Amino acid sequence: MIKAKAILILTIVTLGLMLWQARLPLWNQHLQVDIWVWWQRLEFWFRGHTFSGLTGNEILPLTLLYLFIPVLLIPIGWLSYANYLPAVLILNLAVIGLHLFFVKRKTLFLLSLLFLGPILLFRFDALVTLLLILSFVSFQKNRPGWSGFWLGLATGLKVFPVIILPYLLLILFKQKQLKSLLTLMIYFAEALLLPVLIFWLLGGNREQIVNALDFHNLKLISIESLPGSLITGWSLITRGAPPALLAGYGIWAVPGPAILFNRLWLLPIGLVYYFIWKNRPRRFDWSTPLVLILVFLVFSKNLNPQYVWWFMALLPFVKAGRLIWILTLVVALLNQLVYPIFYTTLIEEFYQKNQSYWIYYLLLLRNLGILAITFILFHSRTGLLLTDKGNKH
């Protein structure tokens, strides 16, 4: 009873602090940029009540539909960006809170949120992780249809969850549950296609979806990614200055072989699946999707600040050791310091003026921390075992 009250108090303090931070310029000056883009897409819709003619859009159909939900929280006649912004914050706060119904290690989960800051209130990544958790819980409860459906929705929001689909199918194949395997695939496809159909009914078309996918594919190597940090470090060593700062496709980037990194992640993900196949998994292990996501992030050309939540949300479901949790909290804190608190310093002072190296070192430490977490989970007994032992909540 006492523990339950303590968790309730910590929950209220954590969510309240996030909401308070979200209202301060120190945080929201950078963070609300994405919501402004969302609002512009909604304005386009409300002008003609159609998505026909929408150009330069990088938002996928399901995400566009999600952007309409905050509108329902605004009284009729009061629709404006000034009212849309707090409606988004409240909706995302509720989505974050829903995680607590599934998380057993609630204290660690709430500490992660405290160290991460309010960024999840301004993005839709918490919805993605909630859908992933629903998918995995459904899978453990032998509900392949719902598991596939939730995973399909998560993939429709952020494409990366598709890397987890083969793992679920492999388990069902090893269990010789071919009917369940087929059911999961059908519901996964339905969850992907249903938002596309609604988008089409609202005036959208195939070309707009292709352009949205190409938008992300054409991005260069972001300064926040591990490859971007290493390229920057190499430039400091060889030239005594950061590399040229490139702007485009919604990110700040550095010169480098971006096309290579569009495909490079397939090799390490393939290696993880080799170990999965070798160990013949017959039951779901939370550590496996966790490591798949971490490996993907390490080798990705984009590691936006909110992406760290992809693995942080799943960490309370595995038997992670103290070192992993310490590293995770440090990564979360560094993540918040780099973006949004000192992001202007990173861009204007470090990259453009070759000053304030300390902010680059914080970013590098964050990325090396993620790399260390990945390595430890791969080799530690308290981390990824890729077998039928442990982490089977």
Tell me: the pLDDT tens digits for 95-106? 999 999 999 899
Domain count along the chain: 1
The single residue listed with the structure tokens 């038997």 is 319
CB 133 within 8 A of CB 254: no
Tell me: the pLDDT tens digits for 359-375? 999 999 999 999 999 99
Could you tell me the pLDDT band of residue 267, with boundaries at 50, 70 and 90? very high
* Alpha-carbon span 227 to 221, nearest angstrom: 7
Q: Is residue 388 part of a domain?
A: no
* Alpha-carbon span 152 to 190, nearest angstrom: 8
pLDDT mean over 151-159:
98
The single residue listed with the structure tokens 């039928």 is 388
Q: Is residue 387 part of a domain?
A: no
Q: Lowest-pLDDT range, 73-87, 261-275, 378-392?
A: 378-392
Q: Is residue 390 part of a domain?
A: no
The per-residue DSSP string of 284-324 comes to --THHHHHHHHHHHHT-S---GGGGHHHHTTGGGS---HHH
User: How many alpha carbons lie under 13 Å from residue 16 in its C-beta half-sphere?
Assistant: 6
Q: Is residue 39 part of a domain?
A: yes
Phi, psi of 218 (to 5 degrees): -85, -5
* Alpha-carbon span 131 to 168, nearest angstrom: 15
User: What letter represents residue 171's amino acid?
Assistant: I
Q: Is residue 154 part of a domain?
A: yes
pLDDT, residue 46, reads 94
Q: Is residue 385 part of a domain?
A: no
Phi-psi region of 203 (alpha: psi -120 to 50; beta: other; left: phi over 0): left
Q: What is the DSSP letter of 245?
A: P
Q: Spell out the residues 6+ positions from residue 249 whose beta carbon is closer than 8 angstroms to its own.
A: 58, 215, 216, 218, 219, 220
User: What letter represents residue 27's amino acid?
Assistant: W
The single residue listed with the structure tokens 């010169």 is 255
Domain that holds residue 258: 2-379
The per-residue DSSP string of 209-229 comes to HHHHHHHHHT--EETTSHHHH
pLDDT, residue 349, reads 98
Tell me: the pLDDT tens digits for 331-388? 999 999 999 999 999 999 999 999 999 999 999 999 999 999 999 988 754 344 444 4
Tell me: pLDDT of 251 over 90: yes
Tell me: the pLDDT tens digits for 196-241? 999 999 999 999 999 999 998 899 999 999 999 999 999 999 999 9
Q: Is residue 389 part of a domain?
A: no
pTM, whole model, 2 decimals?
0.94
Phi-psi region of 39 (alpha: psi -120 to 50; beta: other; left: phi over 0): alpha
Q: Beta partners for 248? A: 251
Q: Please give, one letter per residue, the 3-state secondary structure of 376-390.
A: HHHHCCCCCCCCCCC
* Alpha-carbon span 178 to 378, nearest angstrom: 30
Q: Report the first-to-last Cα separation within the chain, whole angstroms.
A: 23
Q: Is residue 393 part of a domain?
A: no
